[in-house]
């Protein structure tokens, strides 16, 4: 029997939507977005942000939907069907997602440690020293590699076990069921945290700072690029996740409606998170009597330094709000990690006819071993370098190729018909122009801008690490491409 016939399928639209929203809502929404808005013009940022959603992210989301929905197979197979040698592009995309997964789990690992610590405010008074030195023994020197940070390694075991437990089961019992439980829980807990935050004294200082528009920012190209980059990341576009998840959709699905729901849910969550985060920062600015721009940080600094500092000043309610906040990051992270494993695990299952359970087990074991390097004294430094390189170079390279391949080597009109097939509100032919001209131009702009930033790095260690990853990004996809496909054995055996 042709393997195309036993493609897994979502048992309900709800499972698909929850899995998609689960992938979209992640660290990008909680720790990246608030800072990106603040540092790129505040309220004025919402104009490039909403424009990017409408003219780039949503049209691109629909492209990925259509491709997965039409071909109903793994990402490398999709590219192979467009043109045989392009299979390698599909493996490249899957491989980059897997690499990203190996350090994304580490950040969630730190979060688990803070979840436990928040029960007793175990980070002490000096939260910065605690995070970088006491906990992570952070160093930029390679000697740090021989120093294992045991609490991080322990939480990596927990996270990889959870990913393994969820992903090895069939689609609906695993990803579908857990997304249906975790996403509503996440939204409910986040709502509690945000509602509490906006009642804090000083919250309005933070919210004003966040949304106070700096209109001249609109004339700065970098801000438009930042908006486009943020929304691509936030909606999980270009990593093979969307096409893989939509390849599991039943034939009668309404792509337009589903895409609009996912984008609205993700962006509302993002805005909600930003309001919550800035209310808390406003409170911090007021209680510590420091100007708001001194307390605003991004990423790790925000979650693991600024927030614990706020919880220290909050009194006993922090014993509830603290754990709830870290639990949010944990739930958001887990549903994203399982989506990052899916493109590569589905692709290997398809090509080599190996059972999902076995593929997931092997990938989790390899992923765990690879992520140990980030659980060393050099770990947090490596996370920064690898994240920067993969996001600015790897992912965008894949997106640019994807857009050019489907815009120019494939029949875009056919894709448009697929998108519109079961929909009441339909996309017009303007979608084709966006996919062929405007979006590739914007993507190339973001990509070149990112590479420019990378080249400016003159630090030797960083360059060597980037080179190693670049080599891996060529070797592995090539090996997977040239290995012959294994034919399925007859059932009689």
Residues in contact with ligand PHE by CB under 6 A are: 23-24, 26-29, 233-234, 236, 239, 241, 336, 339-340
Give whichever of 11 and 387 is closer to ligand PHE, judged by the CB atom: 387
Strand partners, 376: 148
Give whichever of 236 and 392 is closer to ligand PHE, judged by the CB atom: 236
Give whichever of 153 and 232 is closer to ligand PHE, judged by the CB atom: 232
Residues with Cβ < 8 Å from 123, sequence gap 6 or more?
114, 117, 130, 131, 308
- Placement of tokens 């740090």 in the chain: 144
Residues with Cβ < 8 Å from 69, sequence gap 6 or more?
246, 247, 249, 253, 255, 418
Residue 148 is classified by DSSP as: B
Report the nearest approach of ligand PHE to the CB of residue 298 (Å). 14
Give whichever of 202 and 276 is closer to ligand PHE, judged by the CB atom: 276
Give whichever of 226 and 241 is closer to ligand PHE, judged by the CB atom: 241
> Would you put residue 7 in left (φ > 0), alpha (ψ -120 to 50) or beta?
beta
Asked if residue 411 lies in contact with residue 81, where contact means CB atoms within 8 angstroms, the answer is: no
Strand partners, 148: 376
Report the nearest approach of ligand PHE to the CB of residue 204 (Å). 27
3-state class (DSSP) for residue 421: coil
Give whichever of 24 and 115 is closer to ligand PHE, judged by the CB atom: 24
Asked if residue 367 lies in contact with residue 162, where contact means CB atoms within 8 angstroms, the answer is: no
Report the nearest approach of ligand PHE to the CB of residue 235 (Å). 7
Residues with Cβ < 8 Å from 234, sequence gap 6 or more?
24, 26, 28, 29, 32, 33, 266, 267, 270
Residues with Cβ < 8 Å from 314, sequence gap 6 or more?
283, 321, 322
Report the nearest approach of ligand PHE to the CB of residue 219 (Å). 28
> Would you put residue 384 in left (φ > 0), alpha (ψ -120 to 50) or beta?
alpha
> Would you put residue 298 in left (φ > 0), alpha (ψ -120 to 50) or beta?
beta
Give whichever of 28 and 367 is closer to ligand PHE, judged by the CB atom: 28
Report the nearest approach of ligand PHE to the CB of residue 266 (Å). 8
Report how far apart, in Å, the C-alpha atoms of 121 and of each of 124, 189, 485 are.
7, 20, 53
Give whichever of 234 and 258 is closer to ligand PHE, judged by the CB atom: 234
Give whichever of 332 and 427 is closer to ligand PHE, judged by the CB atom: 332
Asked if residue 115 lies in contact with residue 326, where contact means CB atoms within 8 angstroms, the answer is: yes
Give whichever of 206 and 229 is closer to ligand PHE, judged by the CB atom: 229
Asked if residue 331 lies in contact with residue 229, where contact means CB atoms within 8 angstroms, the answer is: no
Report the nearest approach of ligand PHE to the CB of residue 344 (Å). 12
Asked if residue 326 lies in contact with residue 118, where contact means CB atoms within 8 angstroms, the answer is: yes
Q: Which long-range contacts (CB under 8 A, 24 or more apart) does 410-413 make?
A: 410/82, 412/436
Report the nearest approach of ligand PHE to the CB of residue 215 (Å). 28
Report the nearest approach of ligand PHE to the CB of residue 28 (Å). 2
Report the nearest approach of ligand PHE to the CB of residue 303 (Å). 13
Report the nearest approach of ligand PHE to the CB of residue 415 (Å). 21
């Amino acid at each position: 029997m042709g393997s195309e016939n036993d493609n897994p399928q979502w048992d309900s639209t709800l499972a698909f939507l929850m899995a998609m929203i689960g992938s979209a809502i992640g660290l990008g929404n909680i720790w990246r977005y608030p800072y990106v808005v603040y540092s790129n013009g505040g309220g004025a940022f919402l104009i490039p942000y909403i424009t990017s959603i409408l003219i780039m992210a949503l049209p691109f989301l629909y492209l990925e939907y259509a491709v997965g929905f039409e071909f109903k197979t793994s990402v490398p197979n999709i590219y192979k069907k467009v043109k045989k040698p392009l299979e390698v592009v599909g493996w490249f995309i899957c491989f980059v997602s897997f690499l990203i997964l190996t350090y994304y789990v580490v950040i969630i690992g730190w979060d688990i440690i803070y979840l436990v610590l928040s029960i007793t405010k175990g980070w002490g008074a000096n939260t910065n020293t605690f995070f970088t030195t006491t906990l992570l023994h952070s160093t930029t020197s390679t000697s740090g590699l021989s120093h294992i940070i045991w609490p991080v390694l322990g939480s990596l075991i927990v996270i990889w076990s959870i990913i393994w437990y969820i992903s090895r089961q069939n689609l609906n019992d695993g990803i579908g069921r857990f997304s249906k439980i975790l996403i509503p829980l996440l939204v409910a807990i986040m709502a509690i945290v945000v509602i509490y935050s906006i009642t804090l004294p000083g919250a309005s200082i933070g919210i004003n700072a966040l949304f106070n528009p700096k209109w001249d920012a609109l004339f700065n190209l970098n801000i438009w690029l930042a908006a486009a980059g943020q929304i691509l990341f936030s909606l999980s576009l270009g990593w093979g996740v969307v096409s893989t998840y939509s390849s599991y959709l039943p034939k009668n699905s309404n792509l337009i409606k589903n895409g609009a729901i996912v984008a609205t849910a993700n962006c509302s969550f993002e805005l909600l998170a930003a309001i919550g985060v800035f209310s808390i920062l406003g409170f911090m600015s007021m209680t510590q009597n420091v100007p708001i721009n001194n307390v605003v940080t991004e990423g790790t600094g925000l979650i693991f330094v600024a927030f614990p500092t706020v919880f220290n000043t909050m009194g006993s309610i922090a014993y509830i709000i603290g754990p709830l906040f870290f639990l949010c990051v944990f739930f958001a992270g887990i549903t994203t990690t399982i989506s990052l494993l899916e493109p590569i695990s589905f692709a290997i299952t398809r090509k080599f006819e190996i059972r999902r359970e076995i593929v997931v087990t092997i990938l989790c074991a390899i992923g765990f071993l690879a992520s140990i390097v980030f659980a060393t004294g050099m770990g947090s430094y490596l996370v920064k370098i690898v994240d920067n390189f993969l996001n600015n170079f790897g992912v965008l390279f894949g997106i640019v190729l994807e857009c050019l391949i489907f815009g120019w080597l494939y029949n875009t009109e056919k894709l448009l018909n697929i998108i519109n097939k079961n929909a009441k509100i339909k996309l017009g032919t303007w979608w084709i122009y966006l996919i062929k001209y405007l979006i590739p131009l914007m993507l190339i702009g973001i990509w070149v801008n990112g590479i420019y930033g990378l080249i400016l790095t003159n630090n030797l260690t960083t360059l060597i690490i980037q080179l190693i990853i670049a080599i891996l990004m060529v070797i592995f996809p090539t090996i997977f491409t040239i290995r012959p496909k294994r034919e399925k054995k007859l059932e009689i055996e």
